[in-house]
Chains A and B, each alone.
Chain A
Amino acid sequence: MPGEMRRLLHTARSWPSAVNVVGLATIVGGILLWQITHVAGLITFQYVPPPSGIAAALADAVATGELWSPLTHTITAVLVAWTVALIAGLLLGVTVGLLPLAWTWSMASVEVVRTVPAVALVPVALLVFGFSIRTEIIVAAYVAVWPVLIAGAVAVQSTHPRLLDVARTFRLSRRERFLKLLLPAAWPQVVVAARLALALSLILVVLTEMVGNPAGLGHALVREQQALQPESMWAYLMVIGVLGVVLQAVLNAASRRAFPGLAPVLATGAT
Chain B
Amino acid sequence: MYKININEKEFNCEHNEDLLKALRKTLDDSIPFGCRMGGCGMCKIEVVEGDYKLGTSSMAALSLEEREKRYTLACKTYPLSDMKIRIENK
A-B complex is real = no
